[in-house]
Amino acid sequence: MTSKTGSTTRKRGRGRPHHRSRDAVGRGGIIAAARKLLQRLPPHRVTIVMIARRAGVDPALVRYYFSSREKLFLAVAENIIATWAAHHPSPHAGPAERLASHVSGMVDFARSVRSMQRLMIDECAEARSPEVRKRVKELNDKAVQGYAQLFDQNQADALEPVDPLLAYVAIIGMAEFFVAAQSMIVPLLPRKMSDNELAERYKKFIVKLVLDGLRPRHDTASCASASPSGG
């Protein structure tokens, strides 16, 4: 294209932001803005325009980095998971200790990222994009593999081997429902307590519930038959 002064200028690609805009707020800044919005709004109410406004950029910049809303939300979910992965217990801890830390941490995670499961299910697992759905499956497969390591049969002296997929589903369910049902739970409390106190009590309860249920049990019938009879 030729300007009035006779100089030739290159036409900017459709939707491509100016270099100045890209330098000011990058991909990470847009993800951070989306995460802040998702802390107070359900995913279905968060739009690209709202995210752009929160980040202080033009919506074209959001579309430049993320070709669709689905891919943006997938990137947000991956960012949340990466942040969470940094807080995993030491790999040198025993299986029971690692599981206890994980169960407790899942409650903390659900409380701090209230939109995570709706984000993963409504916006990503049920996305129209096959690419997004495939990536969600990969993320969940990796999580289930982590549970499988905890319940490895070579560690049966510490924990009973169980189906890692069912353990994954059950622990997420216990953490997520606790957070989602606060308006129902709080009025049932026998006395006034802070959110943190309630959460700590709940974490201790489900850790005990899970570990007691998964610790190996001796054959009580065999023990009884082996014990000497009373005189």
Same domain, 94 and 139: yes
Residues 105 and 154 in one domain: yes
The confidence band for 11, taking pLDDT boundaries of 50, 70 and 90, is very low
Residue 14 lies in a domain: no
Q: Print the domain residue range for 48.
A: 19-66
Rg of the chain over Cα atoms, rounded to whole angstroms, equals 25
Contact indicator for 183, 203 with CB cutoff of 8 Å: no
Beta bridge partners of 2: 8
What b/e sequence results for 140-162 when a residue is b if at least 16 CB atoms lie within 10 Å of its CB, and e otherwise?
A: eeebeeebbebbeeeeeebbeee
Phi and psi at 191, nearest 5°, equal -150, 165
Mean pLDDT over 92-118 rounds to: 87
Look at residue 14 in the predicted model and tell me its pLDDT: 45
Q: Indicate if 188 and 116 belong to the same structural domain.
A: yes
pLDDT at site 166? 95
How large is the average pLDDT for residues 172-192?
A: 90
125-154 residue pLDDT tens: 999 999 999 999 999 999 999 888 877 755
Q: Average per-residue pLDDT in the chain?
A: 83
Query: 210 and 99 in contact (C-beta within 8 Å)?
Result: yes
Cβ–Cβ < 8 Å for 103, 203: yes
The answer to which of 45-49, 172-176, 197-201, 216-220 has the lowest mean pLDDT is 216-220
Percentage of the chain beyond pLDDT 70 is: 79
* 129 and 194 both lie in a single domain: yes
